Amino acid sequence: MKYEIKQQDKFKYIEIGEGEPLMLLHGLFGALSNFKDLIDHFSTSYKVVVPMLPLFELDIFHTSVGGLAKHVHKFIEARGYTDIHLLGNSLGGHVALVHILKHPQKIKTLILTGSSGLFENGMGDSYPKRGDREYIRKKTELTFYDPAMATKELVDEVFDITINRIKVIKIIALAKSAIRNNLGEELNEISQPTCLIWGNNDTITPPFVAKEFQKLIPNSELHFIDKCGHAPMMEVPGEFNVILDQFLKKHRQPAASLA
């Protein structure tokens, strides 16, 4: 399904459906395709919002987790969203955490899946190798439990990014920022109900990371999905959506009763 990308001032985003906002923050190599099943499922009950994070548009000094979190805050203010269910995958989870710690007022619940912020295995010091498609394919496969999930289209998306010198510099800047920006000592300040949905076979943010998040975030619940890697909403969308649906229903505004 093709989604209409809307624009307001400097913000690009998609917005589908009505109801409480369910905002999705993508990761470093994220694309709308990562959230396809999630968007299709939840846009019947929620206003699903996906801001396009300016991974490559910010100047190098603001190409950081904090810079992206500021963009998300300004976007929320510009759009006037409240009672937001904020979901982030990988780097997007890290951005969600930084945002909720600085601006908790409009966030109703937090959902993290494969989030950085405590520990993550990077792509390695040699990453990205420009022009080496086979290397990129193997690294992309590591995102998933099932290597077949790394389709030609997905590998091409990543490869196209890594052959652009400026984009490579910004990817490295963001990856280093994520490693530096460890939130371990701040997570106990999060009061919102939090749902952690994790792949049991995630090699980038392994299961022990999810357990540490659960230990440090006071009002959190943890769900593992077997035979699943770093992007559960892509690899096992059915199971992911069931877990998320049950969590959101617990914290959704009840419909106004008829007089």
pLDDT in tens, 120-141: 876 444 455 556 888 888 888 9
Q: Which residues pair with 51 in a beta bridge?
A: 13
Quote the CA–CA distance of 41 and 241 in Å, as a whole number: 8
Instruction: Quote the pLDDT of residue 16.
Output: 96
Q: Give yes or no for residue 5 having a pLDDT over 80.
A: yes
In percent, how much of the chain has pLDDT > 70? Answer: 93
- Average pLDDT score over the chain: 91
Instruction: Quote the pLDDT of residue 74.
Output: 98
Q: Give yes or no for residue 256 having a pLDDT over 70.
A: no
Distance, first Cα to last Cα, the chain: 39
Quote the CA–CA distance of 249 and 59 in Å, as a whole number: 40
List, in order, residues 6 or more apart from 192 with CB less than 8 Å away. Answer: 100, 104, 107, 108, 109, 110, 219
Can you tell me the mean pLDDT for 189-213? 97
Q: Domains plus CATH for the chain?
A: 6-120+182-250 (3.40.50.1820)
The pLDDT tens digits for 227-244 are 999 999 999 999 999 999
**Does residue 24 contact residue 49 with C-beta atoms inside 8 Å?**
yes
